[in-house]
């Protein structure tokens, strides 16, 4: 006698058009990183404008200006802890956590590097930057595409970022890291143009990219800003402050979510990989 046993199987939902578009973009960036031209690092990459010491701290302004990054990271982690249970879907919660933890790590790595600017310290600086990049990319993909796209995008960045940094350290080719940093921001900018998924964390991605772009402009104008301010502050020090301010839109989104929960607004909990969701609404029943 033959017994047929029917076992439940998990059906994987097909790839959506948005996920396919995101995947093609990531593949294009990967191809550029691997097959693109060699981009040597500048011989002046450690030649920062402001090298003044303060309180025994060398290059003090560039070191201390990392404090806003650490403050933003700690503030964000505190804001996450104050959210009500279930106020944020687990994927977005993980990405936001990675983003804010990454800001703290970036502040530490950058502080170590600017204490004594050299290649060894720059390696740790860039490795720390991978974490907030991964968190932001994952959050953007989650809010605009799907939860599984968020996990995949963050995972790709966590893999590609360290490889790009190590390849620069080994071969001196900065192209992979440039693709990781600038290409990743272009992906976020593209995702900012897509409609936000129902129930996703309402982060203004355009504002994040705008503030980060201003930070990069001040970084490029390090010496010019130092001269223009009569050597009061350098462009690189201001860059750290604007980079920290890029966390503000995420903090505002968390504050809005917490305030809506405090007012008893409808609560949205995302589930499923492609944005299926359930809405829990508190109802009053009169006797």
| DSSP string of 89-115, one letter each residue | -HHHHHHHHHHHHHHHHHHHHHHHHHH
The pLDDT of residue 43 = 80
| 240 contacts: CB under 8 Å, gap ≥ 6 | 62, 65, 66, 68, 69, 110, 215
Question: Is 111 exposed, middle or buried (CB count within 10 Å of its CB: 0-12, 13-18, 19+)?
Answer: buried
Beta bridge partners of 269: 278
Mean pLDDT, consecutive 10-residue segments, the chain of 287 residues?
44 83 93 93 88 93 97 97 91 97 97 94 95 97 96 96 95 94 94 92 95 96 96 97 97 92 49 38 35
Would you kindly state where each structural domain of the chain is located, as residue ranges?
55-280
Q: At what angle do helices 235-245 and 67-81 cross, to 10 degrees?
A: 10
Fold entry, domain 55-280: Rhopdopsin 7-helix transmembrane proteins (1.20.1070)
The pLDDT of residue 272 = 38
Are 144 and 191 in contact, with CB atoms under 8 Å apart? yes
Q: What is the pTM of this model?
A: 0.86
Tokens of 279: 């809405």
Q: Using alpha carbons only, what angle is made at residue 250 by residues 244 and 253, rounded to the nearest 5 degrees?
A: 150
Element (H, E) at 246: none
Task: Tell me the C-alpha distance between 60 and 237, whole Å.
Answer: 10
**Distance of CA 21 to CAs 152, 182, 189, Å?**
13, 19, 14
């Amino acid at each position: 006698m033959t017994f047929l046993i029917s076992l439940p199987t998990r059906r994987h939902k097909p790839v959506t058009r948005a996920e396919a578009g995101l995947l093609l973009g990531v593949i294009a960036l990967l191809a550029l990183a691997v097959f693109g031209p060699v981009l040597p690092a500048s011989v002046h990459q450690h030649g920062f404008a402001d090298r003044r010491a303060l309180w025994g701290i060398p290059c003090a302004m560039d070191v201390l200006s990392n404090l806003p990054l650490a403050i933003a990271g700690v503030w964000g982690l505190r804001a996450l802890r104050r959210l009500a249970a279930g106020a944020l879907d687990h994927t977005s919660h993980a990405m936001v956590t990675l983003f804010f933890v990454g800001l703290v790590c970036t502040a530490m790595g950058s502080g170590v590097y600017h204490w004594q600017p050299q290649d060894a310290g720059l390696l740790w600086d860039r490795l720390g930057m991978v974490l907030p990049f991964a968190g932001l990319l994952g959050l953007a993909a989650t809010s605009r595409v799907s939860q599984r796209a968020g996990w995949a995008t963050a995972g790709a960045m966590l893999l590609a970022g360290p490889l790009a940094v190590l390849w620069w350290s080994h071969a001196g080719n900065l192209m992979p890291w440039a693709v990781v940093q600038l290409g990743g921001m272009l992906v976020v900018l593209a995702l900012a143009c897509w409609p936000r998924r129902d129930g996703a964390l309402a982060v203004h991605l355009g504002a994040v990219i705008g503030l980060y772009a201003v930070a990069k402009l001040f970084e490029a104008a390090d010496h010019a800003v130092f001269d223009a301010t009569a050597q009061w502050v350098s462009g690189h020090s201001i860059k750290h402050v604007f980079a920290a301010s890029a966390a503000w839109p995420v903090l505002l989104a968390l504050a809005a979510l917490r305030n809506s929960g405090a007012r008893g607004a409808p609560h949205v909990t995302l589930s499923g990989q492609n944005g299926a969701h359930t809405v829990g609404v508190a109802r009053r029943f009169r006797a």
